[in-house]
């Protein structure tokens, strides 16, 4: 039978990360591939306490339909993360992934141009492709984006938005410097381009000073996405959008036609944990567990690989972006590494043009200290075999 699928589906490639997750789920492979938090750290007891409390204090209306923009108590807590922001500028989404989808649904017509960082978040690239956007990429370095190229792209293509992950970026772990941010703000104002700021890793800072978000530097032109997936649990599917009220109204309409609302049950638990400071405390605990994991990976990479590779130590987040200099195509390294029992994500999948790359993304949050040491040893064996 001739396929009746839409072109956007038939031309979409299967996510490489999904392939790796499937590959590693069954086996004894040490996986540095996914972007997963450490499940052992999910605050199970606290969640249970608040769930029981909800059953004890709420009637059945808890499970009834409600409004699309989210539970007011939670929106109030989220608004506190930004300067001079009210709950009217916040809406809830099913993870920040849905936030991305709703922004595309609300802003993109077929063929509209958007700008992404080069490299960028894999699932966002896949999504933009599904909306048939014309994707232009701006080079990213450890200081931020290339301002000259960004200006040329803004000028030439009049993009609908610039998709930016300015803190502990996925896949690189890089963060924009303040100077770089201010330059981006200057260009966004000059060319009237929306900044679609995605910051899922912001709260996981191990060193350095907190930085100012685009949402606070340029609130009138920024749509900011946030999530509790990395600090509470991905399964809660609680993300949010912070934007000017007019944009929130349009996005809420899009949300209504997508899934009507987020689950109130999970929103209430999350709101209570923020109101009494439990989630903030839990985030500190996560940082205390994740920092040594990052350090363990950095040390193992340095000890074994020496200067045969290059990487920047990330100040936060979940990833190290490694340049395997002696292996021009890290996909080949991936094939050998898998045979040795370790997985990572080859860099090419994160570039909009999927070009061959010597880089690879390594996650350290979802492995034990022992697994990190063993896994980097296995990766080194694979590297030696190839170079
Ligand atoms: C940059 C980026 N944006 C969005 C997401 C989606 O997160 P969520 O679980 O909130 O949908 C992720 C998940 O890894 C991510 O890395």
| CATH number of the CATH domain containing 37 | 3.90.1150.10
Using a 6 Å cutoff on CB, does residue 234 contact ligand 1? yes
Residuewise pLDDT in 10s, the chain (387 residues): 678 888 888 776 666 767 777 766 767 899 999 899 999 999 999 999 999 999 999 999 999 999 999 999 999 999 999 999 999 999 999 999 999 999 999 999 999 999 999 999 999 999 999 999 999 999 999 999 999 999 999 999 999 999 999 999 999 999 999 999 999 999 999 999 999 999 999 999 999 999 999 999 999 999 999 999 999 999 999 999 999 999 999 999 999 999 999 999 999 999 999 999 999 999 999 999 999 999 999 999 999 999 999 999 999 999 999 999 999 999 999 999 999 999 999 999 999 999 999 999 999 999 999 999 999 999 999 999 998
- How many domains is the chain partitioned into structurally? 2
Determine the Cα–Cα distance for residues 71 and 48; give it in Å rounded to an integer.
20
Within this chain, do residues 295 and 235 fall inside the same structural domain, yes or no? no
Contact 137, 120 (CB under 8 A): yes
Q: Residue 17: what pLDDT?
A: 64
Determine the Cα–Cα distance for residues 126 and 104; give it in Å rounded to an integer.
12
**Three-state SS letters, 353-365:** CCCCCCEEEEECC
Q: Residue 328: what pLDDT?
A: 96
Q: Which of 205, 238, 282 is nearest to 44 (CA)?
A: 282
Nearest atom of ligand 1 to the alpha carbon of 99: 11
The residue whose CA has the least distance to atom 14 of ligand 1 is: 35
Q: Residue 14: what pLDDT?
A: 67
Within this chain, do residues 120 and 29 fall inside the same structural domain, yes or no? no
Determine the Cα–Cα distance for residues 253 and 250; give it in Å rounded to an integer.
5
Within this chain, do residues 38 and 168 fall inside the same structural domain, yes or no? no
Domain hosting 33: range is: 7-43+281-386
Q: At what angle do helices 330-340 and 369-386 cross, to 10 degrees?
A: 120
R_g of the chain, CA atoms, integer Å: 21
The residue whose CA has the least distance to atom 16 of ligand 1 is: 170
Task: Give the chain's end-to-end CA distance (angstroms, integer).
Answer: 48
**3 state SS of 14:** coil
Cite the DSSP H helix spans in the chain. 7-10, 16-26, 44-57, 72-79, 95-107, 122-130, 147-157, 178-191, 214-217, 245-259, 264-275, 278-305, 330-340, 369-386
Within this chain, do residues 380 and 357 fall inside the same structural domain, yes or no? yes
Within this chain, do residues 102 and 239 fall inside the same structural domain, yes or no? yes
Using a 6 Å cutoff on CB, does residue 35 contact ligand 1? yes
Within this chain, do residues 113 and 255 fall inside the same structural domain, yes or no? yes
Q: Residue 19: what pLDDT?
A: 75
Within this chain, do residues 171 and 25 fall inside the same structural domain, yes or no? no
Ligand 1 centre to CA of 97 (Å) is: 6
Within this chain, do residues 95 and 230 fall inside the same structural domain, yes or no? yes
pTM: 0.97
Q: Residue 39: what pLDDT?
A: 96
Q: Where a domain ends, among 250, 278, 306?
A: 278
Its sign, for the CA torsion 121, 319, 282, 54, is positive
Determine the Cα–Cα distance for residues 161 and 358; give it in Å rounded to an integer.
29
Ligand 1 centre to CA of 199 (Å) is: 8
Q: Which of 202, 316, 213, 236 is nearest to 42 (CA)?
A: 236
Within this chain, do residues 65 and 15 fall inside the same structural domain, yes or no? no
Ligand 1 mutation pick, 97, 238, 316, max ligand atoms within 8 A of CB: 97
Contact 350, 122 (CB under 8 A): yes
Q: Residue 6: what pLDDT?
A: 86
Determine the Cα–Cα distance for residues 376 and 344; give it in Å rounded to an integer.
10
Using a 6 Å cutoff on CB, does residue 200 contact ligand 1? yes
**3 state SS of 343:** strand
């Amino acid at each position: 039978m001739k396929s009746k699928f839409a072109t956007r589906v038939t031309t979409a490639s299967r996510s490489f990360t999904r392939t790796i997750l499937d590959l590693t789920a069954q086996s004894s492979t040490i996986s540095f591939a996914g972007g997963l938090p450490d499940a052992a750290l999910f605050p199970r007891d606290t969640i249970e306490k608040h769930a029981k409390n909800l059953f004890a204090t709420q009637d059945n209306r808890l499970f009834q339909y409600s409004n699309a923009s989210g539970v007011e108590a939670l929106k109030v807590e989220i608004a506190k993360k930004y300067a001079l922001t009210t709950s009217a500028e916040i809406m809830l989404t099913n993870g920040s992934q849905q936030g991305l989808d709703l922004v595309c649904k609300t802003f993109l017509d077929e063929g509209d141009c958007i700008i992404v960082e080069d490299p960028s978040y894999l699932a966002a690239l896949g999504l933009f492709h599904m909306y048939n956007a014309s994707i232009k990429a701006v080079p990213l370095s450890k200081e931020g984006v290339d301002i000259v190229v960004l200006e040329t792209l803004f000028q030439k293509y009049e993009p609908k938005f610039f998709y930016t992950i300015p803190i502990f970026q996925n896949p690189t772990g890089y963060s924009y410097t303040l100077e770089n941010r201010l330059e981006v703000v200057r260009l966004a104002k000059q060319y009237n381009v929306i900044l679609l700021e995605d910051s899922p890793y912001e709260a996981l800072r191990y060193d350095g000073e907190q930085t100012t978000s685009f949402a606070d530097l340029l609130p009138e032109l920024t749509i900011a996405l946030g999530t509790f997936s990395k600090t509470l649990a991905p399964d809660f599917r609680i993300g949010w959008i912070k934007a000017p009220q007019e944009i929130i109204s349009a996005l809420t309409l899009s949300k209504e036609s997508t899934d009507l609302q987020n689950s109130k049950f999970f929103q209430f638990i999350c709101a209570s944990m923020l109101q009494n400071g439990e989630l903030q405390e839990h985030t500190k605990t996560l940082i205390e567990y994740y920092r040594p994991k990052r350090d363990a990976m950095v040390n193992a990479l340095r000890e074994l690989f020496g200067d045969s590779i290059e990487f920047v130590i990330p100040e936060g987040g979940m990833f190290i972006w490694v340049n395997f200099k002696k292996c021009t195509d890290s996909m080949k390294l991936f094939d050998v590494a898998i045979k040795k029992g370790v997985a990572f994500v080859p860099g090419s999948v994160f570039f909009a043009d999927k070009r061959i790359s010597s880089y690879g993304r390594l996650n350290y949050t979802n492995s034990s200290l022992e697994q990190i040491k063993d896994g980097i040893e296995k990766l080194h064996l694979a590297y030696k075999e190839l170079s």
